[in-house]
Amino acid sequence: MPSTSKFRIPKAAIKGVHGAAMRIAAKKMFGGQIPDVAYVLMHHKPILRASSSFGMKVQQWKELDADLTSYALMASAGSIGCSWCLDFGYFMAHNDGLDLAKVREVPRWRESDVFTPLEGEVMEYAEAMTATPPTVTDEMVHSLVSQLGPAAVVELTQVIAFENMTSRFNSAVGLASQGFSDVCELPLAQPTGAADTAP
């Protein structure tokens, strides 16, 4: 599926040292397809380097179960309405060997019966953190700490904050689904009332 991004900031050329590194990374991780966000970030190399570096560090954190991390990231992206992030998140879950039958249900998790109570709490927390203003309560945090432990909840909170930064940036600059999730066997489920197509 071709990119549906509208690029509110004109696409930068993928060239030079950074462009070469981007092409190598794209070939290794994304089947050669360069993420649309790279065309925007190439305008500002220090931000490109900083965001790429932090994103790779986030992927190395292991206090929180990978499935819970994926659900939280996608619930946050869905709350913001970043179809690029949902598309890419599903693709990454596929590459990481996560439970796609559940990951695909995240956009309509409240109506789905595939998630455990803890998984529901994680997605509720992600949405509460993403709301403006945030609607996180003491009870939410206490419940998660009692089930996951403090370190995992610190990690959960930080990955949701990182997704907020990413999704809000991508939405603001006009990025939309790029077709990464086309490699997945099933399309992402849509929230109740939405068309039953991939983002």
Per residue of the chain (199 residues), what is the pLDDT tens digit? Answer: 568 899 999 999 999 998 999 899 898 888 888 999 999 999 999 999 999 999 999 999 999 999 999 999 999 999 999 999 999 999 999 989 999 989 999 999 999 999 999 999 999 999 999 999 999 999 999 999 999 999 999 999 999 999 999 999 999 999 999 999 888 876 788 776 554 433 3
Distance CA 187, CA 197 (A): 7
State how far the Cα of 69 lies from the Cα of 63, in Å rounded to an integer: 10
Round to whole Å and give the CA distance between 21 and 26: 9
First to last CA, the chain: 10
Q: Cα–Cα distances in Å, from 148 out to 53, 135, 177?
A: 27, 20, 32
Which residues have CB under 8 Å from 15's CB, separation 6+?
none
Could you tell me the pTM of the whole model? 0.89
User: Which structure tokens are listed for 129?
Assistant: 């953190």
* CA–CA separation, 47 and 2 (whole Å): 26
